Amino acid sequence: MTRWQQQLAEGFSNSAALLEYLGLDPSLADIRAEQSFATRVPKHFADLMTSSIDDPLLRQVWAQGAENFQAPGYSDDPLQEQQAAAPGLLHKYQSRVLLILRGGCAINCRYCFRRAFPYAELTLTQRDMQASLDYIASHPEVNEVILSGGDPLMADDRAIAGLLEQLEAIAHLRRIRIHTRLPVVIPDRLTDELLARLTQSRLKPVLVLHSNHAQEISPVLRERLQPYVQQMPILNQSVLLAGVNDDVDTLSALSEALFDADIRPYYLFLLDRVNGAAHFEVDEREARALYESLQSRLPGFLVPKLAREIPDRASKTLVV
């Protein structure tokens, strides 16, 4: 087992234990919420939290009673993603496909729009993968493959290298993009092997991280990212979350921290209306107002695009 896999195995798997670790009242953890979506938090991420129940990192991950509330307009599949081009393959936007490499994640974010997906722990079989590769090979308009999940970096470096080799053989592909939260929650996932394999590829790599608060950009993450930032663009996407980052000071601190770590802000998404996440919603009017102050506060290159995903659209929808 490598270091990151060790840390994956040692993470918190229930909210009561996490609260207790932080010196908080473990009885606040809600069993029903936890049964509908398991708690999963690596120790590195827990160590970036403060001992407050309102801590912005803690709020993203602990199972609380508010999740049991059935809010109108919320569903289990808000993006209607369960209609795939091939098992594990989404082709909604012309030039790029999303390949679900692994169903699981190192961390379970309570606001995740995939929290209710049946494929939670899915690993694609060789046959499913072949169907996806055949699909991509027969669609010359696709020039970029986005590895997504779950979290694609749950796959080990050998599996990723194997997949890359198959993708490199498809002549019309130009880029490989990896959407992952794993380096933020376990920085040791940024191995030398992964970097070496990505840099030797004919496909240009792009790494898109997911973090929501400056506290997540730890010194260890910055250090592990260093060799990567010299080789490929590193972007970040965030979700606008009530009680986590829904004020202009927090959002500008996040952008500044990202810049210091050589990560460029890419998207700031409005919440997807998935069951169990209504307490995270920031309404669109408030979001626009916040965004305007953010634009006046930061240089343009540190302002992420405010967007939301609307099913059946040909791209993300900008909120302006």
Ligand X SMILES: *Cc1c(COP(=O)(O)O)cnc(C)c1O
Residue 146 interacting entry, from ligand SF4, ligand X, none, C-beta within 5 to 8 Å by type: ligand X
- Looking at beta carbons only, is 107 or 203 nearer to ligand SF4? 107
Nearest to 110 by CA among 27, 39, 10, 194: 39
Count of residues interacting with ligand SF4 (CB under 6 A): 11
Identify which of residues 271 and 306 has a Cβ nearer to ligand SF4 in the complex: 271
Q: Binding to ligand SF4 (CB under 6 A): which residues in 63-122?
A: 105, 107-109, 112, 114
The amino acid present at 85, given as its one-letter code, is A
Provide the minimum distance between the beta carbon of 144 and ligand X in the complex, in angstroms, as a whole number.
8
98 lies in the binding site for ligand X (CB under 6 A): yes
Identity of residue 118: P
Q: Which stretch binds ligand X (CB under 6 A): 29-37, 69-77, 86-94, 250-258?
A: 86-94
Could you say which of 93, 117, 135, 259 contacts ligand X (CB under 6 A)?
A: 93
Give the CA dihedral 258, 263, 269, 274, nearest 10 degrees.
-90
Tokens 């669109």 correspond to what residue?
284
Binding-residue pattern over the window 145 to 184 for ligand X, x denoting contact by CB under 6 A: -x--------------------------------------
CA distance 288 to 294: 10
Structure tokens at 71: 């809010």
Asked if residue 213 binds ligand X (CB under 6 A), the reply is: no
Contacting residues for 233 by C-beta, under 8 A, at least 6 apart: 206, 207, 264
Pattern 145-184, binding to ligand SF4, x per CB under 6 A?
----xxx-----------------------------x---
**Three-state secondary-structure class, residue 75:** strand
Q: Are 107 and 181 in contact (CB under 8 A)?
A: yes
- Token pair of 26, please? 């473990």
Residues that bind ligand X (CB under 6 A): 90, 92-93, 96, 98, 146, 315-316
